[in-house]
Amino acid sequence: MIPARIQKGDTLGIIAPSDSVTEKNLEEFNNSILLMEGSGYKLKIGKNVFANPTGYGATAEQKAEDLNKMFADDDVKMVWCAKGGFNSNSIFDLIDYELIKKNPKILCGYSDTTAIANMIYEKTGLVTFSGQTFKGLSACETEYCYKEIIKRFQDGSLELGTEDDEYKVINPGQAEGIMIGGNLSIMSNLITGKYNVDVTDKILFLEEFWLESPPEAVSSYFYRMKQNDVFSKIKGIWLGGYEHESGITLAQVLKDTIGNEYDFPIIQSDNFGHIDPKTVIPIGVKVRIDTDDEVKIKLLEECVK
């Protein structure tokens, strides 16, 4: 199920399903409002974006209320997560998946909110997106993130990143599959339990925030995946940003975990994750990795219509 693209004059709904927007975020948040309104869009801010009754953010009920209302609102054409955080999985039980099936829209966020993006795809088949949060849009040092939002959601481009982005081959090969993924720590929690995602024949894109996950934590996430047979089921991996001060990379820790046990292709780039360049990546469309090709990863299907 593919959402409709946005166009100037449309209303974009802003929600905070992870951490609430706080006073220290207001300058960036307001600058993003100015940026998108200046680009010709209208904005609708969720009722609970600033709520903090728990002392650590809005309640699960408040977060889910905003998400469900935005999908139910015919005026809203895109649902945009304001920021990341830690516990967006708290709303899994409260998301109205049937409502979303009947009202497919663009959903965009990254970091913790990729939990919601992957779960909505798993439960509904709706293509969702990992991309810059609304708050973070105005904080980027370059126009890369903004251009990616416009390119993907307004123009409907199938290009992943830009032609100047560099890719490293960690493990050679070719593979096709449906792409899912996002933040590594989040994805490692979505492979078992009541709310899990099907990784069979998938291509995973993975990144991690080094300030919250040192290499030993990354190792734990990868080993949890290995111990639950993720690597025996998937078709390939696309690794993104991880700028740990030690110089240790995601690719190094992954290879320490899996060695030469698997023959699927692995590539790495620095154009998504907790870094400034943020490619908008669709969750739920077919992609191809070919390490012999000049363009290492390509979208094979439209992600907006």
Predicted TM-score of the model (pTM): 0.95
Residue 276 binned pLDDT confidence (cut-offs 50, 70, 90): confident
Q: Which of 99, 113, 110 is nearest to 71 (CA)?
A: 99
- The CATH number assigned to the domain with range 167-299 reads 3.50.30.60
Which pLDDT tens digit goes with each residue over 181-219?
999 999 999 999 999 999 999 999 999 998 899 999 999
CATH 3.40.50.150 fits 11-154, yes or no: no
Residue 147 binned pLDDT confidence (cut-offs 50, 70, 90): very high
Between 211 and 47, residue with greater pLDDT: 47
- What local confidence, expressed as pLDDT, does residue 243 receive? 84
Neighbours of 98 (CB within 10 A): 10
In whole angstroms, give the CA distance from residue 126 to residue 1.
5
Task: Return the domain boundaries, the chain.
Answer: 11-154, 167-299
